[in-house]
A and B are shown apart, each in its own frame.
Chain A
């Protein structure tokens, strides 16, 4: 299963490292990544594959939501099919 992780919020050091480190701990593979910073606003979109992981979607997703307890960054994880369904005929 593929999923899209979206991270948004105020830019600071270590956001990519924190998300990627957690994904690695969960034994998920990062397949693609896009990152932009606009006027200090950080937006990162990451496609991951859960195929090699023994963790469920729910476990990975819940861990992600606890990754930035300071509340300055929002992380969400959704199945990739929803984005295909919205934009591909």
Chain B
């Protein structure tokens, strides 16, 4: 039915060799949160992330418990904020909304405060990149 040495080896992987699942990431599209008002855009982003990823942490905990393998990071990743915030320019408002949503749902990180500039950079993306140091210093989850 089962091989005890296989089971001991698997248990040893977790206990002695520290096997874990490094990260579970849930991707959330926030493209539909675009608005020309920074406040409205940030509110939509908060609502969408807090609503759609609310089960991520409890489900990861259930998986950890059932399989006995720790999941080190639970993470949400969103559509690059440089795209979503371009219409309003409210990048920092979106960052704060993402940070609040991350705190609310209990994830370790929120990814996606980024820009796709590998094929050239627009003025809006340049403005976005200028906000990165301040945003990273003033948020916990981003």
Contacts and interface: CB of A to CB of B under 8 A. Distances in A.
A87 B4 contact: no
Contacts of B66: 57, 78-79
B136 interface: no
B27 to A, nearest CB: 24
A87 B3 CA distance: 10
A80 interface: yes
A10 B13 CA distance: 22
A34 B4 contact: yes
B67 A82 contact: yes
Interface SS of chain B:
helix
B123 interface: no
Interface SS of chain A:
strand
Interface residues of A, number: 22
A80 B62 CA distance: 15
B3 to A, nearest CB: 7
A43 B8 contact: yes
Interface string B46-79: 0000000000000000100111110000000000
A86 B8 contact: no
24 contacts: A4-B7, A6-B11, A32-B1, A32-B2, A36-B4, A45-B2, A45-B4, A45-B8, A47-B1, A47-B2, A57-B65, A57-B66, A58-B65, A61-B65, A78-B66, A78-B67, A78-B68, A79-B66, A81-B67, A83-B2, A83-B7, A86-B9, A86-B13, A87-B3
